[in-house]
Chains A and B, each alone.
Chain A
Amino acid sequence: MNHKQWNRRAWLQGCAALLGMLALAPLRALAAAWNKAAFDATKVDAALQGLGAVQVGPSRDIILIAPDMAENGAIVQIEVESRIPGTEAIAILAEKNPTPLIANFVFSNGAEPYVITRIKMGETADVRAIIKAGGKYYSVAKKVEVSLGGCG
């Protein structure tokens, strides 16, 4: 009798532990995918290397819209559109930020290579968009004058 109860308890505990692991699994899988090497990089070259963008060529088929001047570096709106066929991803960097890589957007299943977001800029610098298309990398940059840095 006692033996039977103990077995049931052990089985229930086992089930609870398994359910707990299953519930956590999707978040862990997502968190593991974050590109720590690229985002922690303090130099543009290292950030690009982290992204896998070793050879980056110029392109006229990238539209990068950023203000000429930003009074407040805490909120700088950036718009990027790629007209390069087969564009898979758009990354945005602010070259003089303590960690230059700001965001990397990966498009799939009908999403267009177009994004608007707002970034922080520590000081006047080039904002750079890196496009990944067909396994190759292309880039364009625009200088943004920052009056008041917003990297805190």
Chain B
Amino acid sequence: MADIKIRATIKGETTEIRALMIHPMETGRRKDDFGEVVPAHFIQLVTVALNGKTVLEAQWGTGVSKNPYLTFRLKGAKVGDKISLQWVDNKGQSSSQGAAVQAG
């Protein structure tokens, strides 16, 4: 699916992973144009793995902005290693995307 953009760039020993997820991140408190409360719909769990081994596990609430953005850093990766990200939201929907580590 095209709803996750992920890039991993290595500089020296450090790999920087940047990801953008397309998701409404509804709090369950917002009202639409008709005054109806929009049900909560937000990502709860994000897992990032390097070559299948978990490096980051995030739990999110409704306070993460719409279309969540995430950057973090990693040691021990090599060019060509596989980074993968998966999210699961409160409705049980999920998505995943992978990328190869690139030279910076």
- Identify the A interface with B (CB < 8 A): 27, 30-31, 33-35, 39, 74-77, 94, 97-112, 114-121, 150-152
Interface size on B, residues (CB 8 A): 36
- Identify the B interface with A (CB < 8 A): 14, 27, 29-30, 44-45, 47-48, 50, 53-66, 68-77, 88, 92, 94
- CB <8 Å contact, B65 and A109: no
Q: Which residues of the partner chain A approach B73 to less than 8 Å between Cβ atoms?
A: 111-112, 114
- CB <8 Å contact, A108 and B64: no
Choose among A39, A97, A121, A152 the residue that contacts B30 (Cβ–Cβ < 8 A): A152
Q: Which residues of the partner chain A approach B88 to less than 8 Å between Cβ atoms?
A: 27, 30-31
- Bound together, the chains give a CA A21 to CA B14 distance in angstroms of 40
Choose among B27, B71, B94 the residue that contacts A151 (Cβ–Cβ < 8 A): B27
Q: Which residue of chain B lies nearest to A98 when distances are taken between CB atoms in the complex? A: B29
- CB <8 Å contact, A117 and B64: yes
* Nearest chain B CB to A72 CB, angstrom units: 10
- Bound together, the chains give a CA A77 to CA B60 distance in angstroms of 15
* Nearest chain B CB to A91 CB, angstrom units: 9
Q: Which residues of the partner chain A approach B63 to less than 8 Å between Cβ atoms?
A: 94, 97, 99-103, 119-121, 151
Q: Which residues of the partner chain A approach B47 to less than 8 Å between Cβ atoms?
A: 30
Extra pairs beyond A30-B47, A99-B63, A115-B72 (18, CB < 8 Å): A31-B45, A39-B61, A101-B61, A103-B61, A104-B58, A105-B56, A105-B57, A108-B55, A110-B74, A112-B75, A114-B72, A116-B69, A117-B64, A117-B65, A117-B70, A119-B64, A150-B65, A152-B30
- CB <8 Å contact, A119 and B92: no
